[in-house]
Amino acid sequence: MEVLLALVIGVLAGSGVWLVLRPRTFQVVMGLVLLSYAVNLFIFSMGSLSIDQAPIVAPGVPADLQHYSDPMPQALVLTAIVIGFATTALFLVLLLAARGFSGTDHVDGQQDAP
């Protein structure tokens, strides 16, 4: 499970970086979205990866750090998802406004020479 999650995080982060380096603004926005997903998964995995267990402390088990699942990363990821959605909507509005002003969707505002 850990290897699969690490691979997914790596692929999302690599794809996000590749898209951020593209010349068009929509690709840059999608790259930022993929990077935020990668960071969210990374933060979520820091809590603990356990299946079919109680989220914080299981009954009958001592409440020490070995049997404790931290709820803070889950709360941080939930907050980051909401903020990321709002930020993506803002970026898309800015993308449309910049395209209306410049007439192109290139990051530098100029078309490539043919």
CA-CA distance, 97 to 108, in Å (whole number)?
14
Domains (range + CATH), the chain: 2-49+68-102 (1.10.287)
Structure confidence at residue 46 (pLDDT): 81
Structural contact between residues 38 and 1, judged by C-beta atoms closer than 8 angstroms: no
Looking from the CA of 28 toward its CB, the CA atoms found within 13 Å total 13
pLDDT in tens, 20-71: 999 888 899 999 999 999 999 998 888 766 666 656 666 777 777 666 667 7
When the pLDDT of each residue in the chain is averaged and rounded to a whole number, the result is 84
pTM: 0.78
**Which of 112, 90, 109, 96 has its CA nearest to residue 32?**
90
